[in-house]
Structure 1
Amino acid sequence: MTLRAPRITRLGLALLKGTRHLDRDEIELDAHGPVGDRTWCLVDRAAARVLRTVDNPRLLRITVRPTDGGFVVTTPEGHSLDAATRDAADGIQAYDYWGRGARIRLQDSDCSAFFSEYLSRDVVLARADRGDVVYADPISIVTTGALRRLEEALTRSGYAVRSPLDARFRATMTLDLEHDPEPGTRLQLGDAVVEVTDPLERCAVIDLDPETGERTNTQLLQRIRTTDGRLPFGVGARVVSAGTLRLG
């Protein structure tokens, strides 16, 4: 089944894994997913591990925007670094990411020292192979209907929702649909077509404030937990036909 042109109410991605998820007016899709999404990551070279957002919530406070020569990093304190990037001589290496091997290329960049100081740990900037530091499918989707029902449940429990809930889920897109599309559904979005895969399992990242990185009592994990212990919210998707996604 194909749904034609459900309205896109929000688009976003993070250029560097774990940093602030930035709203976009449009996103280009190629065969691998959203172009630019999690192109970069930080690694703990001693542990041969990619840094995970849930373990390093201060990353959420940092904004990373692309430039012609690389990207510019800005902290909430107003400090910024215009970073040029260059592959180090080490070549492709395998670093652990949630128990699987992520192919990364370490970078010769001032950003490594910048992030090491900010996070108070020794980290190195790296460029990831497309999709290797994405936990599930390349595209994540939430719907306005599911978000509204979740917000109503939180409000009934006495929790005041102070910011848009879709920011918590860091989805590629929010679609104006009452219910999540079923697995196997194809969505015509402008000149792009994506196919829905499976419900997305969530982790404690959704209980972190998307602007401050602080853990807040949102009760989101509690509210989405099923009777068998799963934590699904939203759906994943893969690219069928490349194209451009635009708001509206």
Structure 2
Amino acid sequence: MNRVIGIRRHPLKSAAAEHVAEAFVGKHGLDGDRTWTCLDADGTIGSAKQPRLWGTLLAVSATYQPAQGDRARAVHIAAPGAAPAQAGTPEADAAVSAWLGRPVRLTRNAPQQLKRHHWWPDEPGMIPDWVADQTPGEDDTVAARHDAEGGRFFDFGPVHLVTTGALERLDNEHGSEVDPARFRPNLILDLPADPEPGQRIAIGPDAVLEVAIPTPRCVIPSLAHGDAPADRALLKTLAAHHRIDVADYGRATCFGLYANVLAVGSIATGDRVTVAG
């Protein structure tokens, strides 16, 4: 039976994933996902797509506490070597700043001109057609996205997923097992292959997603993620086997899928998954 085998939330953008057994999927994605970001002194937001500045943020953990009774919702941050602190407090800012080695501030509010730093990989094939004028191996400052209604710092779609079928294929192409954490998905679905854009994915009794587009990849999969060490060769594998046409955009190296939420509902690991359309 096709099923959910992993649910992951990222309360702080570009911080480590929180592995959860169940979550509520609203129209803006998983409850608590990517609701906080780091704000740098230059007004840009934190993203490990510029690893020189933000790569170590992947080692910071963040956990989401939903509202319950009189208790307000909250996100708790734990930087290596520091005590956990609630996001939005000076203690959390100080802990993340000390870990990154420069002053940053955690925020739920998007700056008026939302931008982030980006490093364009120098591996051939890793730059999408729609930014073909960019120079490989160069830094850039690009516009960032923010779902103002939902208060989310998403790069594109509200839900990001990978499938076991695609991961098994990638393992064979790469010659070793690839940790799905490298792709920072919300959902890991036990499906033999990726659904196509426009197809619908029913999860559990209520939730329904619709596949939007394949996920263009950046440098992040090659960085260290927890116990998974840096793997620069992974970019070469991705570019060699996963550069495809993305409808209305052009060719790009992609892995995983962005999806929109058609019907909200609670999901849990082990829930049945059905693909239609």
TM-score range, shorter chain: 0.7 to 0.9
Decide whether the 8 Å contact of 1:58 with 1:212 is kept in 2. Answer: no
Superposition pairs for residues 170-181 of structure 1, below 5 Å? 170-181=184-195
Aligned to 1:207: 222
Aligned to 1:216: 231
Alignment CA distance shift 1:213-1:179 (3 Å):
closer
Gaps of 5+ in 2: 66-70, 110-147, 246-250, 271-277
Structure 2 counterpart of 1:71, one-letter code? V
Structure 1 counterpart of 2:77, one-letter code? V
Structure 1 Cα separation of the partners of residues 151 and 11 of structure 2: 12
Give the length in aligned residue pairs.
213
- The normalised TM-score by structure 1 is 0.78
1:144 pairs with 2:164: yes
Structure 1 Cα separation of the partners of residues 228 and 171 of structure 2: 20
SS of 1:19's equivalent in the other structure is: coil
Report the Cα offset of residue 24 of structure 1: 1.1
Alignment CA distance shift 1:53-1:148 (3 Å):
same
Report the Cα offset of residue 84 of structure 1: 5.9
Structure 2 counterpart of 1:127, one-letter code? R
32, 35, 38: which is aligned to 2:28?
Answer: 32
SS of 2:33's equivalent in the other structure is: coil
Structure 2 Cα separation of the partners of residues 71 and 31 of structure 1: 20
1:51 pairs with 2:35: no
Report the Cα offset of residue 212 of structure 1: 6.1
Structure 1 Cα separation of the partners of residues 47 and 160 of structure 2: 18
Segments ≥4 residues shifted beyond 6 Å? none
- The worse-fitting range, judged by mean Cα deviation, of 112-121 and 205-214 is 205-214
Alignment CA distance shift 1:131-1:146 (3 Å):
farther
Query: Deviation per CA, 1:28-81, whole angstroms, max 9, x where unpaired?
Result: 11111111001111001x32211112321111111112345633322343x223
Gaps of 5+ in 1: 86-107
Structure 2 Cα separation of the partners of residues 84 and 37 of structure 1: 14
1:74 pairs with 2:61: no
Structure 2 Cα separation of the partners of residues 170 and 114 of structure 1: 23
The structure that is strand-richer by fraction is 1
Structure 1 counterpart of 2:83, one-letter code? S
Task: Compute the RMSD of aligned alpha carbons.
Answer: 2.2
Structure 2 Cα separation of the partners of residues 22 and 195 of structure 1: 24
Structure 2 Cα separation of the partners of residues 131 and 245 of structure 1: 21
Structure 1 Cα separation of the partners of residues 49 and 200 of structure 2: 31
1:153 pairs with 2:195: no
